[in-house]
Amino acid sequence: MMELLIPLDSRSKKPLYEQIYSHICAEIRSGALKAGDRLPSTRVLAEHLKVSRSTTQMAYDQLLAEGYMEARPCRGYFVSHLEELVETGSSGTLEMETTSEPDAGWRVDFSPRGIDLDSFPYHVWRKLSRNTLVDDNKEMFHSGNHQGEPGLREAIRSYLHSARGVNCSPEQIIVGAGSEYLLMLLSQILEGKHVIAMENPTYKQAYRVFQSLGYEVCPVEMDANGMEPELLAKSGANAAYVMPSHQFPTGIVMPVGRRQELLKWAVETPDRYIIEDDYDSEFRYRGKPIPALQGMDRSGRVIYLGTFSKCIAPAIRVSYLVLPMQLLARYRSQTSFYASTVSRIDQNILYQFLSGGYFERHLNRMRAIYKTKHDLLMEQIEPLRERFEIRGEYAGIHILLTSQKGESEEELIQKAAEAGVKVYGLSSYFIHPEHDHRPATVVLGYASLSEAQIMEGVRLLMECWGA
């Protein structure tokens, strides 16, 4: 076991756990820490660095979540096997299923689509709206930039770089009214016949868009780390649609080794791309958000898709696409005649919201609100652990309950419905539901529910499921 010499700056604005995480991550990526190296325990490291054990534990939790290290029972922490994959090449959006819209007809609806609109900063939005239209601002009513207003694109770039580790210029960003539109636009930028590989289960709305555009869609099974590279290689696909930071609906966080394998697949032949949908990465309740896959790309093969629908409000309908430079050239030569689908007024309001610090404050508040709801839900469903495996916690705004008693998904949903509670079956998110051979699993979303509704909903589920 080696001793880690980690320089810590107590005057830095960066938290100590993040400094520890960043240093170890950099050492692994540079090869200074090699695959299989044993790392000190959190207790030993805390004593050595003169910090609390919770600080070192948070750093290790982040490294474990991203796949840089692994914990071996009774043996300790070890660097993951990544050395052959550290570099490849030279040097999203997701609005949930329309079928899962929260329904007022239920006593409790655990919709994975909902968000907490009670906490939306209406007064700020009204103020920014007035600011935009003050003094009869005629400029706002002229046609704007076809990619989106330059100020908004710079604000998005700044946010993505600092919060998601995305590396791009404002020129690479295209602003559009929702993910569906941007995926349709992307279909015209990607030349030739493309076969799209999609994680299975997946976000069905994206599948419907690809199918409506005439693409052949190939479902690829996942293991505990996400889309399986061997199956992807056999699929014949030349584009892969993935959600590496928090897969919907399984909640899987793709570790760094698997991300590198996908990047390696992408560079094996010309014109292969990865479409990264980064739909709700802002909401993570243990450690810091997982960096985007795009930030690891050195070959211009990742197309990044993001949205403000989950973190602000669905009605905002502002999403964005980050194109690699070679695809940006195609966009400008072939499709730049399309006008922006988001009004300049809405873009200006959002620009003020981002640049004025309101978005950061709103996100911090929503993380706290969702964490409180998440923790309450996890506390309330604790008695169900005897009957269900609970997955997807600590990130996003939904969890999964997988039966360990052999019940069918239909049986669980029907019993809940008879009690006035709406839950959602995992099988509905499979591209071909008949391919779902997993044990019965239900999806519980909690963002749009009050704390009282969460407690009531879990109570009813325990009664109807006989827990």
Answer yes or no: is 234 within a domain: yes
User: What's the mean per-residue pLDDT of the chain?
Assistant: 88
> Which helix (H) or strand (E) covers residue 96, if one does?
none
- 272 and 349 part of one domain: yes
Whether 109 shows a pLDDT value over 90: the answer reads yes
Residue 256 burial (C-beta neighbours within 10 Å; 0-12, 13-18, 19+): buried
Q: What is the pLDDT of residue 406?
A: 86
Looking at the fold, whether 349 and 385 belong to one and the same domain comes out as: no
Question: Which CATH number do you get for residue 24?
Answer: 1.10.10.10
Same domain, 395 and 320: no
pTM over 0.85: no
Q: Is residue 265 part of a domain?
A: yes
Q: Which of 358, 374, 409 is the last residue of a domain?
A: 358
Tell me: the pLDDT tens digits for 304-314?
999 998 888 88
Residue-wise pLDDT tens digits, 146-176: 999 999 999 999 999 998 999 999 999 999 9
pLDDT digits (tens, 9 = 90+) for 177-213: 989 999 999 998 987 778 999 999 999 999 999 988 8
Range of the domain at 235: 122-358
CATH for 379? 3.90.1150.10
Residue 100: pLDDT band with limits 50, 70, 90: very low
- The reply to whether 275 and 170 lie within a common domain is yes
Q: Give the pLDDT mean for 68-74.
A: 87
Read off the CATH number of the domain in which 206 is found: 3.40.640.10
Euclidean distance between CA atoms 263 and 299, whole angstroms: 9
pLDDT at 103 over 60: no
CB distance 458 to 399 below 8 Å: no
Peptide bond into 433 cis (omega under 30): no
pLDDT at 284: 78
Q: Are residues 190 and 307 in the same domain?
A: yes
105 occurs within a structural domain: yes
Report yes or no on 26 lying in a domain.
yes
User: Which of 108, 195, 21, 164 lies closest to 421 in space, CA to CA?
Assistant: 108
Which residue would you say has higher pLDDT here, 190 or 241? 241
- How crowded is residue 137: how many other Cβ atoms within 10 Å of its Cβ? 13
The pLDDT of residue 467 is 64
Domain membership flag for residue 141: yes
Domain limit, last residue, from 38, 59, 85: 85
Do residue 301 and residue 368 come from a single domain? no
Q: Where are any strands of DSSP class E within 285-419?
A: 302-307, 319-322, 388-391, 398-403
User: Do 74 and 149 sit in the same domain of this protein?
Assistant: no
The answer to whether the beta carbons of residues 160 and 168 sit under 8 Å apart is yes
Task: Dump pLDDT digits (tens) for 455-465.
Answer: 999 999 999 99
Residue among 241, 252, 251, 250 nearest 209 (CA): 241
Q: With b meaning 16 or more CB within 10 Å and e meaning fewer, what string describes 176-200?
A: bbbbbbbbebbbebbeeebebbbbb
Confidence of residue 223 (pLDDT cuts 50, 70, 90): very high
In a domain, 450, yes or no: yes
pLDDT greater than 60 at residue 298: yes
Please tell me the total count of domains within the chain.
Answer: 3
Statement to judge: residues 43 and 153 lie in one domain: no
Worst-scoring range by mean pLDDT, 164-168, 177-181, 340-344, 431-435? Answer: 431-435
List phi, psi (to 5°) of 349: -60, -45
Within a domain: residue 261? yes
Nearest to 344 by CA among 158, 121, 128, 139: 139
Q: Point out the domain boundary residue: 60, 85, 110.
A: 85
| Residue 184 shares a structural domain with residue 330 | yes
Give yes or no: residues 256 and 109 share one domain.
no
Residue 60 within any structural domain of the chain:
yes
Q: Same structural domain for residues 195 and 225?
A: yes
H-run or E-run covering 181: helix 179-189
Residue 89 has pLDDT above 60, yes or no: no
Question: Are residues 283 and 345 both part of a single domain?
Answer: yes
Task: Choose the most confident range, by mean pLDDT, from 130-134, 141-145, 203-207.
Answer: 203-207
